[in-house]
Amino acid sequence: MASIDISAIRKSYGHFPVLHGIDLTIRDGEFIVLVGPSGCGKSTLLRMIAGLEEVTSGEISIEGRRVNDLAPKDRDIAMVFQSYALYPHMTVADNMSYSLRLRKTKKERIAEIVASASSKLGLDALLQRRPKALSGGQRQRVAMGRAIVRQPKAFLFDEPLSNLDARLREQMRAEIKKLHKELGATSIYVTHDQIEAMTLADRIVAMHGGVVQQVGAPLDLYDRPANLFVAGFIGSPGMNFLNGHYVVEKGAAAVRFANGTQIAVEPRARLGHESIVTLGIRPEHVVISPTGAIEAGVDLVEPTGFGIIMHLSLHGLPFKIFTLDRSAMNTTGAVKVDFPMNRLHLFDAEGQRIN
Ligand SMILES: Nc1ncnc2c1ncn2[C@@H]1O[C@H](COP(=O)(O)OP(=O)(O)OP(=O)(O)O)[C@@H](O)[C@H]1O
Ligand SMILES: [Mg+2]
C-alpha cells in the first residue's frame, strides 16, 4: 500500500494540451474516483500514474519516490481495464498466476495466493476454464484476481464495469467496495458514471477539460458543488439551473427572473444588487405544497417506479422536480411548490459557487 502524489502534471499530445496542471495527493489506503465526461483526461492521468504514458511536465511520486522515469513493471501498481485484457489461451488459474510465475514465486506459494484470491472473488469453480468460456462479469473478476495476486502498492481501475449490464454492474460495484474494505489498498478508479463515483469513493475528483474542478467526499460534492459543472454533473435527475439577477430590496435578497417572478434567497455579501446569477436547486428538494409560494405549470409527468419526475414551468422557465409521492401522478394543470431557502445554490456569472 502506498500514498501517491501528483504534482503540477501536464500532458500534451503534440501541440494539443490534454491535462492542464493536476495536483492531487492520494492517501495510503484511500479509494479515489476520477469522474468526468468523455475526453476530459481521466484515462490519460491514470495511464501516466501506471507509467503507460509519458508525463509532459510535473511529477508523480509513489510512497515518496519519484517514478516519472520508472518503467511500469517497476512501479508495483496493478491496472484493471474495461477490456479485461486476459490471455485467451491460458486458463483462469494461469491468467491469475502469470505475474507470480514471471517473478519466480514458489509453486506452493502461488497456489496459496491464487486460492485465496479466487475464493474472495468467487472463482473457485472456474479456475480451469479459458476466458472465452466465461461471462463478462466472470472475466472482470478474473482481471481483478490477476491484479490482487500481485499484492501491488496500488490498484488502478479504468472503467472496469462499463462492459457489463446494469444489474451486474451494481453487483460488481458492491463487490469492489467490499474487496477494498478487506484489502485496504490505495485505489484510483476512473468512471463517467456518477453513481459509481458516489457509492465507491472516499473522495471524488471531478474533472472537466483536463482541469480538476473539485476534490472532496461524495456528499460534499453533492451538497456543496464548487461550480456549475460539478453541480450539473453529480446527481440524477440533474440540478435545475435558473438564470436571473440577484436583487436586494429592504434587506431581503432574491433572484429575479426575466419573466418577473422572483425566489427568495439568503443574502450573499459578495453579490451586488442586479448581479447576474444562476440559481440551482435539486429536483428532490423542490417541495410540493398546497401553500407553496410558487405556482408552476405541469408540462409532463414521468413515473420511474421508484418515484416521479415532474417537468414544470415557471412562467416559461422549465425545471424538474422529483418526488416519492405517487399522488403527484394525477396532477394536471398547475401545482404549488416551494423552493426552500436552505436548499438553494447560487453561482456567479463565471459559474462559481457563492456561499
Ligand atoms: N494517443 C493520443 N494521441 C492524441 N490524443 C489523445 C491520445 N490519447 C488521448 N488523446 C486525447 O486526449 C483527451 C483525453 O483522453 P482520455 O482518454 O484521457 O479521456 P477520458 O476522460 O478517459 O475519456 P473517456 O471517458 O471517453 O474514456 C481526448 O481529447 C483524447 O482525444
Ligand atoms: Mg477513458
Q: What's the CA gap between 222 and 195, in Å, rounded?
A: 11
The model's pLDDT over 292-344, given as tens digits with 9 standing for 90+, comes to 999 999 999 999 999 999 999 998 899 999 999 998 888 888 999 999 999 99
Whose alpha carbon is nearest atom 26 of ligand 1?
38
Give ion ligand 2 contacts, CB < 5 A. 43
38-49 tens-digit pLDDT: 999 999 999 999
Ligand 1 pocket mutation, candidates 9, 22, 44, criterion most atoms within 8 A of CB: 44
Helix (H, G, I), strand (E, B) or coil at 89: coil
Count CB-CB contacts under 10 A for residue 67: 23
Q: Of all residues in the chain, what percent are helix, strand and coil, respectively (each to 5)? A: 30, 35, 35
DSSP 150: T
Residue nearest ligand 1's atom 28 by CA: 39
- In this model, does residue 281 exceed pLDDT 80? yes
- In angstroms, the CA 130 to CA 90 distance is 6
User: Is the confidence at residue 81, as pLDDT, over 90?
Assistant: no
Residue 192 — left, alpha, or beta (φ > 0 → left; ψ -120 to 50 → alpha)? Answer: alpha
Amino acid letter for position 295: E
Mutate to test the pocket of ligand 1, among 42, 163, 196 (most ligand atoms within 8 A of CB): 42
H or E element at residue 288:
strand 287-288
d(CA 2, CA 38): 28
Ligand 1 pocket, residues with Cβ under 6 angstroms = 13, 18, 36, 38-44, 192
Ligand 1 site-directed mutation target among 43, 162, 212, 229, most atoms within 8 Å of CB = 43
36: CA distance to ligand 1 center in Å?
A: 12
Q: What's the pLDDT tens digit per position in 207-262?
A: 999 999 999 999 999 999 999 999 999 999 999 999 999 999 998 999 999 989 99
Q: What is the DSSP letter of 239?
A: P
**Cis (ω within 30 of 0) for the bond into 17?**
no
Task: Give the DSSP H/E element, type plus range, for residue 322.
Answer: strand 317-323
Tell me: the pLDDT tens digits for 62-80?
999 999 999 998 999 999 8
Q: Which of 338, 337, 299 is nearest to 318 (CA)?
A: 299
Ligand 2 geometric centre to CA of 187 (Å):
16
For residue 110, the model assigns a pLDDT of 95
Task: Determine whether 297 is exposed, middle or buried from the number of CB atoms within 10 Å of its CB (0-12, 13-18, 19+).
Answer: middle
Which atom of ligand 1 is least distant from the CA of 44? 18
Kindly list the structural domains of the chain, giving each domain's residue range(s) and its CATH number in brackets, ordered by start.
Answer: 4-233 (3.40.50.300), 240-347 (2.40.50.140)
How far apart are the C-alpha atoms of 153 and 231, rounded to whole Å?
33
Which grid cell is 203? 473522495
